[in-house]
Chains A and B, each alone.
Chain A
Amino acid sequence: AQKITQTQPGMFVQEKEAVTLDCTYDTSDPSYGLFWYKQPSSGEMIFLIYQGSYDQQNATEGRYSLNFQKARKSANLVISASQLGDSAMYFCAMREAFDSNYQLIWGAGTKLIIKP
């Protein structure tokens, strides 16, 4: 079974609009972390935001926020006031605490295109 599911292969959004990228996860480990990364066409992986399973509040980093719904096992990324530079691939990833090497489990990604 997929541990990280990103159901949107691609999205087109008008500039300045907010956008939500979906991510659902599956784990039996009570302690885990959820990450979002951005990968522009240059290929570098850029860390955006992190949410721990025990965090009471949703994580926020500037224009990025993570809508963490633990019971539904979802960790959607919300980008407010989208910009042309937000066009990129976005990956959701999970780290389970029982993995002593802290490997990341990756979703398939969502290609986001911001239209002017």
Chain B
Amino acid sequence: GAVVSQHPSWVICKSGTSVKIECRSLDFQATTMFWYRQFPKQSLMLMATSNEGSKATYEQGVEKDKFLINHASLTLSTLTVTSAHPEDSSFYICSARELAGINEQFFGPGTRLTVL
């Protein structure tokens, strides 16, 4: 199946700093990428949908100025957590949509963010 990578796998940062997470589709072109957040023992919560070359669509309650999403190419989307605080600590997962096939979303391995 198609491969999606995320970098970094985990990051620890100080409160007030910004953190960038990259999501790459390695062997296919992804016109749409999705960013999820997952708290321990909970389901995935969709944060935003990102289409290549256009502004991301954020879900209700997600601060777009805090979670900056850029989808500049068909293989790369980035999520930047700006001025991170401890409550932003979470597991962030991206997925990428492939145009063909029934399994349109392929998931990255996730990034565990801890804000001190």
User: Do A and B associate with each other?
Assistant: yes
A: which residues have CB within 8 A of B?
33, 35, 37, 42-45, 47, 50, 52, 91, 95, 101-104, 106-109, 111
* A109 interface neighbour in B32, B43, B104, Cβ under 8 Å: B43
Segment from B14-22, B63-71, B73-81, B107-115 that makes contact with A = B107-115
* In the complex with contacts A102-B32, A102-B104, A109-B43, A45-B95 CB distance below 8 A: yes
In the complex, what's the smallest C-beta–C-beta distance from B90 to chain A, in angstroms? 11
Instruction: Supply 9 further A-B pairs (C-beta < 8 A) apart from A50-B103, A104-B34.
Output: A43-B110, A45-B95, A47-B1, A52-B102, A101-B97, A106-B43, A107-B43, A108-B42, A109-B42
* Contact assessment for B109 and A101 in the assembled complex, using a CB-CB cutoff below 8 Å: no
B: which residues have CB within 8 A of A?
1, 32, 34, 41-44, 46, 49, 51, 57, 91, 93, 95, 97, 102-110, 112
In the complex, what's the smallest C-beta–C-beta distance from A109 to chain B, in angstroms? 5
* Contact assessment for A33 and B105 in the assembled complex, using a CB-CB cutoff below 8 Å: no
- Whole-angstrom distance between the alpha carbons of A54 and B89 in the complex? 41
Total contacts A-B at CB 8 Å: 51
* Contact assessment for B109 and A42 in the assembled complex, using a CB-CB cutoff below 8 Å: yes
In the complex, what's the smallest C-beta–C-beta distance from B98 to chain A, in angstroms? 10
* A43 interface neighbour in B32, B34, B93, Cβ under 8 Å: B93
* Contact assessment for A108 and B43 in the assembled complex, using a CB-CB cutoff below 8 Å: yes
* In the complex with contacts A107-B43, A108-B42, A45-B107 CB distance below 8 A: yes
User: Can you report 20 residue pairs joining A to B where beta carbons are below 8 Å apart?
Assistant: A44-B109, A45-B44, A45-B95, A45-B107, A47-B1, A50-B102, A50-B103, A95-B104, A101-B32, A101-B57, A101-B97, A102-B97, A102-B104, A102-B105, A103-B34, A103-B46, A104-B105, A106-B44, A108-B42, A109-B42
- Whole-angstrom distance between the alpha carbons of A106 and B51 in the complex? 21
Which chain A positions have C-beta within 8 A of B34? Answer: 103-104
In the complex, what's the smallest C-beta–C-beta distance from B93 to chain A, in angstroms? 7
Which chain B positions have C-beta within 8 A of A111? Answer: 41
Closest A residue to B112 by CB, please name it.
A43
- Whole-angstrom distance between the alpha carbons of A83 and B96 in the complex? 30
Closest B residue to A4 by CB, please name it.
B43
Which chain B positions have C-beta within 8 A of A91? Answer: 43-44
